[in-house]
């Protein structure tokens, strides 16, 4: 791909490529040994982690192109590229079995996050970041009515996407039934539930936590297919939480019950 064609935003050149923006996501991408087609570095400041990014890219033989700030701003989708953009092959989603195998390879019971209707890429990125920090083995998203992995998700995850498996499925309900056949209990978060999230036992079996959309929650059929419905107590005037915050609260309860918290 020629530099001029890329700068002109040719659809033919970009349709099979993704971007990663920001120093930490790109640094983690390099550390994870993932492919980068080309690295664009903003001319000027060379302080901080940008030097490590350049050194790693050179060691891997990655083509590095310096651009002016105006070009960098035009190329950026997030508008906060921190002076570096990587052009990478399309994101490769994992399978549900890959996630289950990830747990088994660690000698752990599966801990999975299922997202039903999370359409904000910032929420998806934040959930991926928390999932990685809390020891989850993977995230499942539907093919439709969901944010997909893109540069904004990658940037918001702060590099966690490189270490978290994300599976995209056609039918969430079929996937839920498949997980149940693998002895994984399904917990749906719902404001009308009668049980609080901390009253459940997440330590003795495989667990999948479903987080619904902020506006509508879980779809009706997904809700019906859950083994348990749980809620987060709230005492303020606002009766709902940001989806990524709700997910974080429940994920850390699972981690704590499983002994994952450091003393």
Q: How far apart are CA 246 and CA 248, in angstroms?
A: 5
Per-residue pLDDT for 4 more than 80? Answer: no
The upper half-sphere exposure of residue 147, i.e. CA atoms within 13 Å in the direction of its Cβ, equals 23
Per-residue pLDDT for 159 more than 70? Answer: yes
Per residue in 102-111, pLDDT tens?
A: 999 999 999 9
Count of CB atoms within 10 A of residue 257's CB? 16
**Percent of the chain residues topping a pLDDT of 90:** 63
Pick the CATH number of 3-88 from 2.70.98.40, 3.40.50.300, 3.30.1330.30, 3.40.640.10: 3.30.1330.30
Nearest residue to 168 (alpha-carbon basis) of 158, 153, 190, 182: 153
| Phi/psi at 112 (5° precision) | -125, 145
> Is 123 buried (19+), middle (13-18) or exposed (0-12) by CB count in 10 A?
buried
Question: Token digits for 59?
Answer: 């060691």
Grade residue 214 by pLDDT with cuts at 50, 70 and 90.
confident
Give the mean pLDDT of 153-159: 87
**In 64-94, which positions are buried (b, 16+ CB within 10 angstroms) versus exposed (e)?**
eeebeeebbeebbebeebbbbbbbbeebebb
Grade residue 5 by pLDDT with cuts at 50, 70 and 90.
very low
Q: How far apart are CA 170 and CA 152, in angstroms?
A: 23
Per residue in 164-212, pLDDT tens?
A: 999 999 999 999 999 999 999 999 999 889 999 999 999 999 999 999 9
Q: Quick check: 210 and 118 in contact, CB under 8 A? A: no
Per-residue pLDDT for 71 more than 50? Answer: yes
pLDDT at 152: 86
- Residue ranges of domains in the chain: 3-88, 96-257
Per-residue pLDDT for 229 more than 90? Answer: yes
Residue at token pair 């996050």:
113
Provide the CATH topology of domain 96-257.
Answer: Alpha/beta knot (3.40.1280)
Per-residue pLDDT for 47 more than 70? Answer: yes
pLDDT at 262: 52
Nearest residue to 108 (alpha-carbon basis) of 263, 228, 234, 257: 257
pLDDT at 150: 86
Grade residue 154 by pLDDT with cuts at 50, 70 and 90.
confident
């Amino acid at each position: 791909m020629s530099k001029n064609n890329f700068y002109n935003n040719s659809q033919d050149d970009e349709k099979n490529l993704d971007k990663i923006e920001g120093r930490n996501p790109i640094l983690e991408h390099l550390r994870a040994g993932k492919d980068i087609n080309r690295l664009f570095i903003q001319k000027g400041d060379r302080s901080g982690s940008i030097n490590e990014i350049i050194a790693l890219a050179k060691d891997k033989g990655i083509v590095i192109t310096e651009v002016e700030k105006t070009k960098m701003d035009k190329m950026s989708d997030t508008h906060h590229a921190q002076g570096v953009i990587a052009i990478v092959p399309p994101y490769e989603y994992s399978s549900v079995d890959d996630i289950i195998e990830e747990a088994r390879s660690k000698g752990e019971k599966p801990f999975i996050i299922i997202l039903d209707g999370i359409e904000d890429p910032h929420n998806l990125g934040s959930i991926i970041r928390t999932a990685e920090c809390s020891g989850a083995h993977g995230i499942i998203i539907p093919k439709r009515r969901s944010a997909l992995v893109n540069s904004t998700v990658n940037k918001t995850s702060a590099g966690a996407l490189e270490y978290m498996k994300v599976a995209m499925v056609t039918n969430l309900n079929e996937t839920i039934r498949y997980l149940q056949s693998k002895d994984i209990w399904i917990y749906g978060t719902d404001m009308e539930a009668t049980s609080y999230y901390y009253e459940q036992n997440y330590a003795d079996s495989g667990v999948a936590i479903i987080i619904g959309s902020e506006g509508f929650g879980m779809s009706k059929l997904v809700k019906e297919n859950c083994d348990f419905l749980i809620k987060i107590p709230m005492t303020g005037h606002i009766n709902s939480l940001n989806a990524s915050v709700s997910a974080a609260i429940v994920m850390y309860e699972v981690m704590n019950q499983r002994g994952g918290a450091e003393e």
